[in-house]
Structure 1
Amino acid sequence: MIPDRTFLRCCAQKNNLALPQELEDWLLVHFEDEPYKDFNTASILEDMVCMYCQSYAAGRLDVTIPDPVTRLKERHEDLKDL
């Protein structure tokens, strides 16, 4: 399951967490790029979204989105390890 904007917003709202646009954009890229086959249930993804929202609010999360070439290289490296 790859979450969409609606899912991300619902998770944040349900848990009274802020979801700024830059974090929302980063989460969409993050979940698209990472092979989360084992985390395919909505409740686990919701927990992960909440964790990222809390980390961002505390200033502990860099939400810089890498350029597409870097993303592709990182994805290739991740998949080689599987």
Structure 2
Amino acid sequence: LFNMLDEFKPDIILLDIYLKDSDGRYLCNLLKSLGKTENIPIVLISGMMEESEVSERDILADGFLYKPFDLDESIQKIRSLLN
């Protein structure tokens, strides 16, 4: 993951909460704690967890999208985080 971040230098990260071998919430907080990635906006995505649950758990995400998500809503959220 960190090699990819160094290579691609993303403007934003869309990160699913439930990953096969990891937890997106943990990765989000890890990325936000590192100097080289702390300023990259992270949007968590989940079909099983509500936004209120994410915000209640001290997760440092900049945004949240519930699956299945609306394309227009997604674009609006991403644009707001990039501006």
TM-score by length of 1: 0.29
Q: Which has the higher contact order (CA 8 A, sep 6+)?
A: 1
Q: Write 1 or 2 for the structure with the bigger share of strand.
A: 2
- Greater helix share, structure number: 1
Larger Rg: 1
Under a length normalisation based on structure 2, what TM-score does the superposition of the two structures give? 0.29
